[in-house]
């Protein structure tokens, strides 16, 4: 940042320690396939452009900027200098030329977000700063810069606005239904976009252990000596594989109102990507460039997303996903498998009674 307090370009400073840089990297390099296709789907929705333009005029973006400017601390060389260095570092590594403004907001709840329609703004809370160490925080800053590079801030801002709007029109049955349908679709996309941003955070920090620790702290607080990454990842495996069809349904219901995936799931997904060939190719300098984005096929994005969902379904240990995968593969006895999956919903037989479906003598 220059002496007059204006934001400069990311190229003015090199990273604080030796890390690989990715000149011209496209966000497609790290985006989850479902994230990319969901964005394409949103833009293809009939009337979405009209709705988007209308919302752009209604959203209080100017008010938000003034609010953060007046009631938060803007990160600079003179304020939260270590965050200022991390921000420039992240923008340098991901080759984001214009460094977005960052603010620190007083809030004990650990959180960070990237919002804005015209230009992204990054906000981190004091609770998050106090929770994470330097390398964990670096991954978070990279996460938010990844959101900015992908253009997620626009849809995040709309999601926040629509969530507030849904509460105001809750008394209008059809109006609330329409808004909540759009909110639900946006939340599903945003959960996938968080997985993309986690990957961007890893590309910036280039320390998978720090990324894992940060996610673990978001779940369990600042008690690192009491926690273990391997045990934390085992929770994700147990969550995915455990239970029956009832648990599968409850998992869906639990995640619907959330904008972020559960912390254990994020950790497991990030570890899987860090061990993949895709990540290694990026680290070796082989990745899609922004200059090629205009030639990207929407159909190809949908195809990649469908393939990703199919692979996830085949490898999933979740009872519902296994059932769907088996049925898609031609397995029979649908009625019997569903009945067995939901057997736990039945009331247990009372003393002196046989099973409820047993023939009476």
Q: Which residues are catalytic?
A: 144
Distance of CA 98 to the CA centre of its chain: 23
Give the residue carrying structure tokens 């594989």.
241
CA atoms within 13 A on the CB side of 13: 20
CA-based nearest residue to 233, from 279, 274, 277:
274
Alpha helices in 107-207, H assignment, sequence order: 126-131, 134-150, 152-168, 173-205
Q: How many helices (H) and strands (E) are present in the chain, helices listed first?
A: 16, 4
Whole-angstrom distance, CA of residue 137 vs CA of residue 135: 5
Give 112's strand partners: 124
330 is written with which tokens?
């031609």
Alpha carbon of 171 to those of 44, 50, 166, 167: distances in Å?
30, 25, 9, 8
Count the helix, strand and coil residues of the chain and give each as a percent rounded to the nearest 5: 65, 5, 30
d(CA 137, CA 160): 24
Task: Find all residues with CB under 8 Å of 80, minimum gap 6, and list them.
Answer: 73, 104, 129
Q: What are phi and psi of 21, to 5 degrees?
A: -115, 150
Give the whole-angstrom CA distance, residue 212 versus residue 204. 14
């Amino acid at each position: 940042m220059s002496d007059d307090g204006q934001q400069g370009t990311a190229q003015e400073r090199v990273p604080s320690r030796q890390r690989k840089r990715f000149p011209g990297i496209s966000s497609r390099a790290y985006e989850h396939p479902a994230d990319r296709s969901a964005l394409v789907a949103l833009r293809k929705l009939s009337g979405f452009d009209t709705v988007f333009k209308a919302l752009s005029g209604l959203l209080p973006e100017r008010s938000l900027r003034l609010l953060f400017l007046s009631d938060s601390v803007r990160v600079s060389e003179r304020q939260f200098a270590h965050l200022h260095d991390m921000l420039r570092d992240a923008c340098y590594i991901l080759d984001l030329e214009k460094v977005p403004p960052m603010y620190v907001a007083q809030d004990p709840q650990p959180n960070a977000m990237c919002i804005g329609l015209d230009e992204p703004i990054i906000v981190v809370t004091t609770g998050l700063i106090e929770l994470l160490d330097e390398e964990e925080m670096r991954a978070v800053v990279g996460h938010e810069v990844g959101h900015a590079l992908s253009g997620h801030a626009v849809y995040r801002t709309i999601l926040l606005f629509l969530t507030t709007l849904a509460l105001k029109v809750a008394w209008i049955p059809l109006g609330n239904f329409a808004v909540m349908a759009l909110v639900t679709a946006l939340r599903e996309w945003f959960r996938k976009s968080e997985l993309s941003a986690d990957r961007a955070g890893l590309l910036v920090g280039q320390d998978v252990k720090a990324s894992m620790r940060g996610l673990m702290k978001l779940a369990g607080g600042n008690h690192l000596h009491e926690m273990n990454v391997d045990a934390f990842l085992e929770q994700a495996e147990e969550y995915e594989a455990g239970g029956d069809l009832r648990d599968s349904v409850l998992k869906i219901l639990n995640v619907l109102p959330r904008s972020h995936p559960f912390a254990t799931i994020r950790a497991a997904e990030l570890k899987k990507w860090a061990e993949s060939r895709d990540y290694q190719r990026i680290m070796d300098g082989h990745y899609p460039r922004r200059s090629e984005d205009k030639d990207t096929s929407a159909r190809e994005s949908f195809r990649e997303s469908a393939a990703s969902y199919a692979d996830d379904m085949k490898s999933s240990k979740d009872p519902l996903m296994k059932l769907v995968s088996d049925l898609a593969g031609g397995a029979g006895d649908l009625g019997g498998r569903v009945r067995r999956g939901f057997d736990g919903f039945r009331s247990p037989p009372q003393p002196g009674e046989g099973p409820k479906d047993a023939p009476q003598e």
